Amino acid sequence: MEQLSFFPEAGQSAGLPTELLEYHAGIFEEKAGYALMDKLIKETPWTQKVVKMYDKQVLTPRLSAWYADAETYDYTSLSKSTPNLWTPELLMIKAIVEPLAGVKFNSVLLNYYRDGNDSVTWHSDNEKALGTHPTIASVTFGQVRSFDIRN
């Protein structure tokens, strides 16, 4: 399976068709972006999920928080989950991202990678609730990290 890298240069799409991937640099001014990141880090009710891997219970190597519209959703094989409700900061990010994506989003999963040891494994955003062709938006604040895509 081919591994593609998502380069931080505007206009590069890692060889994927442009209808599959868009990159928008500089959506937030640097100072405002850092202020927003600091506020999210301090005020988000972070949790570290326990997942089953190879018949063992392990902690995910990152902190997460899930926000959504006032409904209950199925999320990543968890039984019904009640999300946190949108904060003013997340609603502001949502209002900026939705016109760029051309999609109305109903939820956001925040991931906090505390240092170079935190990560996320290969995965697909293929939850049934997302439909057959889900659209995701990834907004990154802080340290540059690789964003790899497999096709």
Q: What is the DSSP string of 6-65?
A: --SSTT--TTS-TTT------SS-HHHHHHHHHHHHHHS--B--EEEETTEEEE-SSEEE
- Does the global pTM surpass 0.95? no
| 101 in any annotated domain | yes
Let me know if residue 11 belongs to a domain.
no
Residue 48 domain-assigned (yes or no): yes
Range of the domain at 97: 27-150
In angstroms, rounded to a whole number, what is the distance separating the alpha carbons of residues 16 and 4?
Answer: 8
Name which residue leads in pLDDT, 8 or 131.
Answer: 131
Domain CATH code at residue 79: 2.60.120.590
Task: Say which range, 58-67, 85-94, 101-110, 139-148, has the weakest mean pLDDT.
Answer: 139-148
Is 134 inside a domain boundary?
Answer: yes
Q: Which residues of 84-123 are buried (b: 16+ CB within 10 A; e: fewer)?
A: eebeeebeebbeebeeeeeeeeebbebebbeeeeeeeeee
29 pLDDT band, cuts 50/70/90, is very high
- What pLDDT digit, counting tens, does each position of 16-25 carry? 566 677 888 8
Residues 123-139 pLDDT 10s: 666 677 767 778 888 89
Confidence of residue 6 (pLDDT cuts 50, 70, 90): very low
Any domain includes 12: no
If one counts the domains in the chain, the total is 1
Is 7 inside a domain boundary?
no
